[in-house]
Amino acid sequence: MALGDLMASRFSQSSAAVSNHLDECSSHDNGDFGAHRRDSETLSSSYGNVGTSATTSMAYLPQTVVLSELRHDAFESCMPSGPSDSGLVSRWRPKDRMKTGCVALVLCLNIGVDPPDVIKISPCARMECWIDPFSLSTKALETIGKTLTMQYERWQPRARYKIQLDPTVEEVKKLCNSCRKYAKSERVLFHYNGHGVPKPTANGEIWLFNKSYTQYIPLPISDLDSWLKTPSIYVFDCSAAGMIVNSFIELQECNASSSTTSSRDCILLAACEAHETLPQSSEFPADVFTSCLTTPIKMALRWFCMRSLLRDSLDYALIDKIPGDQTKRRTLLGELNWIFTAVTDTIAWNVLPHGLFQRLFRQDLLVASLFRNFLLAERIMRSANCSPVSYPLLPPTHQHHMWDAWDMAAEICLSQLPLLVRDPNAEYQPIPFFTEQLTAFEVWLDHGSEHKKPPEQLPIVLQVLLSQCHRFRALVLLGRFLDMGPWAVDLALSVGIFPYVLKLLQTTNPELRQILVFIWTKILALDKSCQVDLVKDGGHTYFIRFLDSMEAYPEQRAMAAFVLAVIVDGHRRGQEACLEAGLVHVCLRHLQGSALNDAQTEPLFLQWLCLCLGKLWEDFMEAQIIAFQADAPSICMPLLSEPQPEVRASAVFALGTLLDVGFDSCRDGGVDEECDDDEKFKAEISVLKSLLYVVSDGSPLVRAEVAVALARFAFGHNKYLKSIAAAYWKPQSSSLSSFPSFAHVKATAANPSQYIGPLLRVGTDTPAVSRDIRVSTSSPLSASGIMHGSPLSDESSQHSYSGNLHDSHSTSNGVISNNHSRHRAPLDNALYSQCVLAMCTLAKDPSPRIANLGRRVLSIIGIEQVVAKPIKSSRPGEPNFVGLARSSSWFDMSGGHLPLTFRTPPVSPPRTTGFLTGMRRVCSLEFRPHVPSSPDSGLADPLLGAVGSSERSFLPQSTIYNWSCGRFSKPLLNVPDDIEEILARREEREKFALYHISECQHTFRKLSNQPSWDTKFDTATKTALLHPFSPLVIAADENERIRVWNYEEANLLNSFDNHDFPDKGISKLCLVNELDDSLLLAASCDGNIRIWKDYTRTGKEKLVTAFSSIQGHRPGVRSVNAVVDWQQQSGYLYASGEISSIMVWDLEKEQHVNSISSSSDCSISALSASQVHGGQFAAGFVDGSVRLFDIRTPEMLVRTMRPHAPKVERVVEINFQPGLDQGKIVSACQAGDIQFLDIRNEKGAYVSIDAHRGSLTALAVHRHAPVIASGSAKHLIKVLSLEGEPLGSIRYYPTFMAQKIGSVSCLTFHPYRVLLAAGFADGCVSIYADGNSQAR
């Protein structure tokens, strides 16, 4: 199976496995309203058979799983790091590639004369270089020398060879000096054959001759080392060669102790230990060590033949007649050499330390060949009681089991050798070595892991890439191995895989394209430095062609886009090469094709097309010009409404990098004519408007990129933004203006710019505010959406008119000077104003990371955050702050908490007296003195000046690229190991839920009036929640402190703040994905949503996502008073409050998908989503009316009722009755009456109860049991049946004096058991169980 097909079949399994566990729930999520009603009437006729009905179970147990993607893992807690180009990841690269440039061969044979310290046996080994010197009458020494040269040339044909036969010391000195002079900085090999001279001395001296050959002359190793210098490699083929190695080590240690001498790169190979003599048996050649090093195949086969069953039947002379060429792998001799290389490489890689393997087997081709052959020499010579020695020292390898594989290959070769010699036309049977080793590697892949021993066949896989017949299988297996993680990629690179896969990019075989793209994806996900090699070899064109092909799967083309993105990431040469190859047009063409194509384009492909483009034109003007010419902004803008947050964030990144950071300095530099490019300004405007469209996106991933893009814009337009911002903070009320609204910037359009209106001013119906505190409702800081006329007020545009801001007027202290008439602002002031508003919006984002980014953006235009502490009370005349104090209505009511400061001197310090009485808190806005750096610098920021590297480093950096790269470093082909565990846990919870649903519906009688567990907050309890599968109660107080208790063990598990600036408390706690790894959704009263994971672990809670669900508010109101509910069936979050619509958010997409008109002039005070029928929810209003909505119907609004008439009191709570009937609702209003409604009955409530007279504060309806509970401010909880019959009441704490309970602030039932949690205004939280079982 091709890896591409494997990827296609496995790519999405991990994300889909849980959500597809039970797909039958779709029968409840689709279809028309009438069909659902008929189903509901059938299923809700009785409460029986709940546990056995498949349809019922699917409705009760939603299968949708949201917020479980990679992006939700740790967005807030860690910064992603993309592919690295330094440090440990590049350790696989040989630090210094080296070549042996010169070889010195010194033969001291003195043929016919035996050295005095050697007593030879008879018969004795006589052959040198496979030549018997006594068989030649003349020039035997010269012939041996030439043969040795030829044997070395096979391993390094380009080196220069010099030979000295029976030389003197002077001749050797001259030889060494000339070799070093020729080789320069390259390595020199010195080969010494001392078979005709005495053994080396204990002092490390080898022997040479005098001119008349009457004496042996010693040559110290130190002299030899001083002549050859470094780098060098020595081969000593003589008895007691270990003596030289020992002396050399002592010399090295002596040099190392000397501070003036640098370390020397020297390698030694010696034939035997210091106390050993070379083997003299006639079955070996005399130079057996040299023969192993230079003719390993011949030596290995002869040695094996002598020890195998073939020794009697095979003529050794046939070994010299093996057909083929060592360099041609399709011949028998070539295949043997290939197998030998693979075996010795594998032994070395498995035995040697990583660094030593790299130095000896990957740095120098000749050194690598000699050390492979040295492993053979150790094996053969140890059988003759000789132990070859090396420096650096190698561990023993002669008994490694891979030698058995070599012996088998040798036997297969020798067994068919006689036939091949007799019949030249006979075809040899290929040796199955590589096929078997690939099978062994495949077995390891099926069972291996990071924590097990690495696969020893990895070097063999590298060798197999050289063969066309095995290449495809080897690449597929290599791809599977690399997919196991970065550790596997590092291992493969350390083996030496890189040059092989780089070379393969030159092939035209279409079968290899997909797997090569996958392999390069894995490599570049680990190590970015490979971008240089790819561009140098023209590899980028391979991936551009693949990206432009239509045959591959979109996921694979996304990988090609990823590879290209890494190639251009911060690499100017890569950017230039890809630009020349037409990458911009290729990417834009495919983005355009996705917009025109009706079928859904793979989101990963769109994501990486955008990221690739962004990296290509990032800080690269030539690419940006081409992008604008190709109308890139208008092509990327439609992606801002894509359902996947990753695609939207990547599109923002691509658009943001088109903004020119250096614009402002260019204009200030006096080259206006050159920089004033109207087309570029128009393009920047379109880019900017598109970014403003997503400033309130539901995904932090997207908003982070918007903040980074706005920072780039603020840097380039710094002067104008500072001037605009300064004008808005002028204290004169007559010149205060409002920023335009973002409430309507929610288009479905691909062109959101039409929704960005001109600069708006506040109308005459804005309430007046005391001038003494120099504040107006039109202040830009009212963007938090509290007062009428605020930027986020959804009605503000109806009371406003267009205008321009001081285009030609100068302000005091030169904040806005006449300089603008000469240097006109490139964009209009309205757009600049909207940008400042967007920056303020981001600076008070519910996500801490986004808020931090927003503050950094504001600091670029001269606004900084100052420390502001909430004030418990504020009395007139008491100066709590120095500076301009603003009403709490801007921050405290909205949860924004963004106290700001301008670093500018233009405005005189305002008075600090005259605070409004009755305010609970105020926050400080302070003008700090600062000397401008230049007269026209506006709000000069000491952190920013001319565009330069130091200032550019202040810009916040995008994270979407690095975060997206992390996907490819994780396994892509295999389903996660824990998927079965996840499914098993879900199945267990489904059984638990269905059992308890049936039990609570049939066995419930009444609640106990005594709590089974209670605890107490410091402040009033706002909301509570009972965990469905663990004995946990989660509660939040009015300071947004969330606590998690185990009520069975009566201990506190965790306690944490929802955010740092609490406002009016949390309005709702919900569990998201309650049947799986549940998340805790905390909805603040200001409409901000924060979702937490690991909320039960002490101090380990993590923020998964955060966004503002309410945008805008009604004129004249002081707070949002958000009401929120979550619907697991549909994956929708419904939010409303002091606005004229209900906002629908899709948490899977993290996107605002709809705004449903409330069809009322009144605000919504209660909201409830059906937990059985996806898309259906009910809303209660402050005038007592109730409306049922269904987003699956075209008109949305299903029915309007006024069950509480003639009373006009706020609906406190509304909820669906238990069961599958979608038409039955329970509504409770503040006046105290509870109405049981059937939406199909136009006459109104079928049951009406006056439960609490004018004091109802809370209502809870059990999800499955026929029971409700209501609470009042008069210390009373009533428990009722669905028919309105009283089932009990709760009035007292179980104290000795029977103290009354506090005013009830919240009530909630356990989803599957009859447990009631109650929160009280005095801070208590209590749990009440039914009469049959107590919670403890």
Q: For residue range 962-998, what is the model confidence (pLDDT) as tens digits?
A: 999 988 988 998 866 678 888 888 899 899 988 888 8
Strands (DSSP E) contained in 407-469 are none
The predicted model gives 254-281 an average pLDDT of: 82
Q: How confident is the model at residue 266 (pLDDT cuts 50, 70, 90)?
A: very high
Compute the distance between CA of residue 681 and CA of residue 670 in angstroms, rounded to an integer.
18
Residue 598, pLDDT score: 57
For tokens 């040697």, what's the residue? 352
CB atoms within 10 A of CB 35: 11
Residue 97, pLDDT score: 81
Residue 263, pLDDT score: 62
Residue 1138 DSSP class: S
**DSSP states of 1217-1269 as a string?**
PSSS-TTEEEEEETTSEEEEEETT-TT-EEEEEE-SSS-EEEEEE-SSSSEEE
Kindly tell me if the per-residue pLDDT of 1061 is higher than 80.
no
Kindly tell me if the per-residue pLDDT of 748 is higher than 50.
no
Tell me which of 817 and 1008 has the higher pLDDT. 1008
Close Cβ partners of 167 (under 8 Å, ≥ 6 residues apart) = 106, 108, 175, 208, 209
How many CA atoms does the CB half-sphere of 793 hold within 13 Å? 32
Strands (DSSP E) contained in 766-835 are 801-802
The most confident of 100-104, 426-430, 1170-1174, by mean pLDDT: 100-104
Residue 921, pLDDT score: 28
Close Cβ partners of 455 (under 8 Å, ≥ 6 residues apart) = 441, 444, 445, 448, 481
**DSSP states of 1039-1055 as a string?**
T-EEEEEETTTTEEEEE
Kindly tell me if the per-residue pLDDT of 889 is higher than 70.
no
Q: What are phi and psi of 1127, to 5 degrees?
A: -125, 105
Q: For residue range 319-374, what is the model confidence (pLDDT) as tens digits?
A: 888 888 888 888 889 999 999 999 999 999 999 998 899 899 988 999 999 999 99
Compute the distance between CA of residue 742 and CA of residue 331 in angstroms, rounded to an integer.
75
For residues 954-974, b (16+ Cβ closer than 10 Å) or e, as one string? ebbebbbbebbbbbbbebbbe
Kindly tell me if the per-residue pLDDT of 718 is higher than 50.
yes
1163 three-state secondary structure: coil
User: 1173-1176 — which CB contacts under 8 Å span 24+ positions?
Assistant: 1173/28, 1173/36, 1173/40, 1173/59, 1173/1129, 1173/1220, 1173/1222, 1174/28, 1174/29, 1174/62, 1174/1127, 1174/1129, 1174/1130, 1174/1132, 1175/29, 1175/1127, 1175/1129, 1175/1130, 1175/1132, 1176/1222
Q: What are phi and psi of 741, to 5 degrees?
A: -90, 145
Residue 1180, pLDDT score: 95
Residue 784, pLDDT score: 34
Q: How confident is the model at residue 662 (pLDDT cuts 50, 70, 90)?
A: low
The predicted model gives 689-715 an average pLDDT of: 94
The most confident of 27-31, 814-818, 881-885, 1047-1051, by mean pLDDT: 1047-1051
Residue 940, pLDDT score: 32
Q: For residue range 161-199, what is the model confidence (pLDDT) as tens digits?
A: 999 999 999 999 999 999 999 999 999 999 999 999 999
Q: For residue range 1106-1119, what is the model confidence (pLDDT) as tens digits?
A: 999 998 777 667 77
Q: How confident is the model at residue 729 (pLDDT cuts 50, 70, 90)?
A: low
487 three-state secondary structure: helix
Are the CB atoms for 1174 and 1129 separated by under 8 Å? Answer: yes
Close Cβ partners of 1301 (under 8 Å, ≥ 6 residues apart) = 1275, 1276, 1277, 1290, 1291, 1292, 1293, 1318, 1320, 1324, 1326
Residue percentage of the chain with pLDDT more than 90 = 50
Residue 947 DSSP class: S
Kindly tell me if the per-residue pLDDT of 916 is higher than 70.
no
Compute the distance between CA of residue 1042 and CA of residue 1032 in angstroms, rounded to an integer.
13
Least confident of 62-66, 566-570, 950-954, 1045-1049: 950-954
Q: How confident is the model at residue 1248 (pLDDT cuts 50, 70, 90)?
A: confident
Residue 697, pLDDT score: 95
The predicted model gives 104-116 an average pLDDT of: 92
Residue 1009, pLDDT score: 77
Q: How confident is the model at residue 1060 (pLDDT cuts 50, 70, 90)?
A: confident
Q: Give the DSSP H/E element, type plus range, for residue 104.
A: strand 100-107
Residue 1298, pLDDT score: 62
Residue 1309 DSSP class: E
Q: For residue range 1302-1334, what is the model confidence (pLDDT) as tens digits?
A: 899 999 999 999 999 999 988 899 999 876 654
The predicted model gives 927-946 an average pLDDT of: 35
Omega into 1206 within 30° of 0, i.e. cis?
yes
Residue 638 DSSP class: G
Q: For residue range 442-500, what is the model confidence (pLDDT) as tens digits?
A: 999 999 888 999 999 999 999 999 888 899 999 999 999 999 999 999 999 989 899 99
Residue 1063, pLDDT score: 67
H helix runs in 455-571, sequence order: 458-464, 468-482, 486-495, 498-504, 513-526, 530-536, 539-548, 554-568
How many CA atoms does the CB half-sphere of 767 hold within 13 Å? 11
Mean pLDDT of the chain: 79
Q: What are phi and psi of 1284, to 5 degrees?
A: 90, 5
Q: How far is CA 325 from the centre of its chain?
A: 50
Compute the distance between CA of residue 1258 and CA of residue 440 in angstroms, rounded to an integer.
68
Close Cβ partners of 667 (under 8 Å, ≥ 6 residues apart) = 675, 676, 823, 826
The most confident of 13-27, 589-603, 812-826, by mean pLDDT: 589-603
Q: What is this structure's pTM?
A: 0.82
Kindly tell me if the per-residue pLDDT of 871 is higher than 70.
no
Kindly tell me if the per-residue pLDDT of 219 is higher than 90.
yes
Residue 1208, pLDDT score: 84
CB atoms within 10 A of CB 1115: 20
Tell me which of 822 and 518 has the higher pLDDT. 518
